[in-house]
Every structure is written in structure tokens, then in C-alpha cells.
Amino acid sequence: MRSLLSGAVIAGAVLLATASSALASHEHARLLGNGECVILAQNGGEQWVELPRAVFENNPKVTLDYDAIAANRRHPLHVLVHKTSQGAGVAWVYGPESDMFCLGYAND
């Protein structure tokens, strides 16, 4: 019984460790006309949404391969705005990448 319990604890720990790494994601920022940026969907939880395979296969604006992109990069703003052929340069990953373009953040 004791070995069964310790095996369950180890399995649970491994599951939590792998799940937390898969959930790691990011937000995006967009440049405003005054040189400041806004963080898009800052408190909306959008970065935790994973778009289904059908969006990648059936939307001509999506230029990413579902199997080649990390699960934490399959959320709507990343797929449909940040990495589209039409939206290139419109939004950046919030943080060091967008800091190159933004004088500050209007909605911090």
C-alpha cells in the first residue's frame, strides 16, 4: 500500500511539473500613435486559450504550422495577429521584444 501511495505521489508531481511548463505563455503589446504601447487582453486570459487545429488548416491568414508551433503559442493574438503575414509588425510579445518599440505602457 505504501509503495502504491508513493507511486501516486510521484506520478502526481510529474503531472504537475509538465502541466505547468505547458501553461507558460505570454501577452502581446501594440504600439500606439503617441509612442506608448498597450498590453492586449491584459487581464482577459487570452494567452491561455489554445486554438484548435482547424484554425491553422482552414484560415488563409494563419501562416503557422500547428505541429511545428509550441502549445503555448497557439493562442488567438499570437496566431491571428502577431504571426500572420498581414499583421506582421502590428503586435509584439509583451516584455523585452516590445520594449524595443514602446516608450512606455499606457495600461500598466
Q: CA dist 31 to 28, 44, 72, 92, 102, Å?
A: 10, 19, 23, 9, 6
Q: Give dist(CA 23, CA 83) in Å, integer.
A: 20
Q: What is the mean pLDDT of each run of 10 residues along the chain (108 residues)?
A: 49 41 70 87 89 94 91 89 68 82 82
pLDDT of residue 107: 80
pLDDT of residue 108: 63
**pTM (two decimals):** 0.64
Beta strands in the chain (DSSP E): 28-31, 37-40, 91-93
User: Is residue 106 in a domain?
Assistant: no
User: Is residue 37 in a domain?
Assistant: yes
Domain with 17 in it: 2-99
User: Is residue 67 in a domain?
Assistant: yes
